[in-house]
Amino acid sequence: MNKKTKALLALLDGQPVIPVLKISDVAHAVPLARALARGGLPAIEITLRTGHALEAIRRAAAEVPEAIVGAGTILNPKQFEEAEKAGAKFIVSPGITPALLAESAGSEVPLLPGAITPGEIMAARDAGLDFLKFFPAEQAGGASFLKALASPIADVIFCPTGGVSAKNAMDYLRLPNVACVGGSWVAPDNMVNEGRWGEIEALAREASTLGKPA
């Protein structure tokens, strides 16, 4: 296990679910991060899918010290650099490119890149990456596909994201090569837009116990 994988796993600290967030109103960033952290999910991924994403990362990182704010949907070195400057503690990408690998190599911020095929996973492994995002998880074969990879590529672990929900999260978390899952169900759009932070906290608290002894 490489140094950056160890650093990222230490940040996640056994958290079974990483909330994957698309923030349309930057005013939601701080109360949302607080609600999720109170519920036991301090590590969050704010995706760069809206024009407010970088400011949302900046505010959550600065104003919610108990949160561990990551940036998702990073597609190129410029976005990596911008997210790092905004305060992101980890970077998530849907795939791997030579340019992203080069940017990551020059940064202390760990990269969690996506890979779905055996070839992509092996290429990532050759590049020294042994903790990968499996995305889009359900569409790429789901838990049964990842289970099949556990023996031939036993030294790579995954965070499946994409189609993961409260109903199927444990299918992934039971696997020996899965460290956590990413999902948006803990912060539904309607609850976020209506400021229902108590309900989101409750969903986070429930998710934070997945895979852990009762």
Query: Could you give the CA distance from residue 179 to residue 173 in angstroms, rounded to a whole number?
Result: 7
Q: Which of 4, 84, 133, 201 is catalytic?
A: 133
Q: Which of 4, 22, 45, 89 is catalytic?
A: 45
27: which DSSP letter?
Answer: G
Residue with tokens 């609850």, as numbered in its chain: 191
Is 133 an active-site residue?
A: yes
Is 45 an active-site residue?
A: yes
Query: Could you give the CA distance from residue 84 to residue 79 in angstroms, rounded to a whole number?
Result: 8
HSE-CB for 190 with a 13 A CA cutoff: 0
Query: Could you give the CA distance from residue 163 to residue 183 in angstroms, rounded to a whole number?
Result: 8
Alpha helices in the chain (DSSP H): 3-12, 29-38, 53-63, 77-86, 98-105, 118-126, 142-149, 169-173, 189-193, 197-207
Residue 141 CA from chain centroid, whole number: 19
Looking at the annotation, which residues are catalytic?
Answer: 45, 133
